[in-house]
Chains A and B, each alone.
Chain A
Amino acid sequence: MIELNNHSTPTLYLRLRRKVTLPKGSFIYLGQLAQLLVEPELEGKLKQIIIYKPTEQDGNLVLINMLQIIKEVKTLEPDLKLEFFGEPHILIELVKTKPAANLFLLTFACILLFIGSGLAIMNFHADVSMMAVHQKMYTLLTGDVLEHPLLLQIPYSFGIGAGMMIFFNRVFKKKFNEEPNPLEVEMFLYQESLDQYVIAEEYRKGQKRSDLK
């Protein structure tokens, strides 16, 4: 049994999560937002504290500030000392039940990518006069001059596909390696930038609201 403190004042150690996804329409409890370290008797009660009741106006994203949490906890337990770690805010995303992906849009996107990337690679080849280079390479290696060195070009085309798959670390579902590939890193960074922007925006809006009061 960990001796959390040896004074008479109980302490609540709090660590907010960075982001949570919660179902829309329900209240937000402290237990969903943070990791709590406190005397076991208080833990159950503290987890049930309602921090916020989301309204229609809030939309999909709610930013909860540490100050709101401290206020709610102090209202219930005035003697409790609070210590917190980590970021002083948490971003909550309210989602309804997951909408099924639109099959029509998916097919559209696949066809778009298929034709678009084919076009891009053809443009690239035209841009760098790949044909002349291939002819030169073929002559360099075998000594024959050939107008359409297909023996070089067809393996080359399949090599393009294999190269992209090596780069993205997967063949359909199978992965080569456990490390994240650049695409996953980019997606993560994009999501992070989005979240940071939303957090800054919410703070700004909150500031404006309190200025008007």
Chain B
Amino acid sequence: MSEILAVVINIIIGLAGGLAVGGGFVAFLVVLDIIPRLAQISKSYQHICWLEGAVVSGAMFWTAAEFFNWRFSFFSLSASFVGVFAGLFVGMLAGALTEVLNVFPILAKRLNMGNFIILLLMSMVIGKVVGSLFDWIVFRAM
């Protein structure tokens, strides 16, 4: 009897935890405006339900893959393909953070550099790319 109880409690806790994490994850994406931004760029406001579906199915697929230790055996370049898209996502995330969006206007106004915003933006982007490469190529010990 107690085994059934243990199973049921486990299921409830798992569901509750998943609910909380899922809600938090979606809230994170909403706050950063990533999905609306993508819809704006691809001019696909009507099909936004597809984007939402992609997020949900992606989260579920990769969660399962991680917990159940799935393994496929695609060719090596598939890793590059996935890597580029992962990078694109992280890049958009980084662009949406407050530290970028609120720092730049103030920086431009204070230092009187409104015309050079593009230059400052580019140095930031290149800095991130180089930092990331640094992390993987030079920090081999970690």
Residues of A bordering B, CB below 8 Å: 99, 101-102, 105-106, 109-111, 113-122, 124-126, 130-131, 134, 136-143, 148-170, 172-173, 176-177, 179, 182-183, 186-187, 190-191, 194
List of B residues within 8 angstroms of A119 by Cβ: 131
A187 touches B105 (CB 8 A): yes
Which A residue's beta carbon lies closest to that of B94?
A164
Which A residue's beta carbon lies closest to that of B100?
A183
List of A residues within 8 angstroms of B81 by Cβ: 155
Does chain A have a CB within 8 A of B66? yes
List of A residues within 8 angstroms of B131 by Cβ: 117-122
Please, what's the 1-or-0 string for B77-93, where 1 marks a CB less than 8 Å from any CB in chain A?
A: 11111111111111111
A106 touches B119 (CB 8 A): yes
Contact A150 B136, CB 8 Å, known A114-B126, A179-B40: yes
- Total residue contacts A-B, CB cutoff 8 A: 229
Which A residue's beta carbon lies closest to that of B89?
A163
Contact A150 B127, CB 8 Å, known A109-B120, A125-B132: no
Does chain A have a CB within 8 A of B3? no
A166 touches B94 (CB 8 A): no
Q: Nearest 10 CB-CB pairs, A to B?
A: A159-B87, A163-B91, A118-B131, A167-B95, A114-B127, A163-B88, A156-B83, A157-B132, A117-B127, A152-B83
Does chain A have a CB within 8 A of B59? no
Chain A nearest Cβ from B116, distance in angstroms: 6
Chain A nearest Cβ from B32, distance in angstroms: 10
- Interface size class of chain B, counting residues whose CB lies under 8 Å from the partner chain: 35 or more
Interface SS, B side = helix
A141 touches B128 (CB 8 A): no
Which B residue's beta carbon lies closest to that of A138?
B79
Q: Which of B41, B78, B87, B99 contacts A158 (CB 8 A)?
A: B87
B118 touches A170 (CB 8 A): yes
| Alpha-carbon distance between A151 and B127 when the two chains are bound, in angstroms | 21
A166 touches B74 (CB 8 A): no
Chain A nearest Cβ from B107, distance in angstroms: 7
B41 touches A143 (CB 8 A): no
| Alpha-carbon distance between A121 and B136 when the two chains are bound, in angstroms | 12
Which B residue's beta carbon lies closest to that of A179?
B40
| Alpha-carbon distance between A157 and B88 when the two chains are bound, in angstroms | 9
Chain A nearest Cβ from B115, distance in angstroms: 7
Does chain A have a CB within 8 A of B71? yes
B130 touches A155 (CB 8 A): no
Does chain A have a CB within 8 A of B65? yes
B88 touches A113 (CB 8 A): no
Which A residue's beta carbon lies closest to that of B102?
A186
Q: Which of B37, B41, B90 contacts A160 (CB 8 A)?
A: B90
List of A residues within 8 angstroms of B130 by Cβ: 114, 118
Which A residue's beta carbon lies closest to that of B97?
A120
B125 touches A164 (CB 8 A): yes
Contact A164 B92, CB 8 Å, known A105-B111, A182-B101: yes
Q: Which of A101, A109, A131, A182 contacts B142 (CB 8 A)?
A: A131
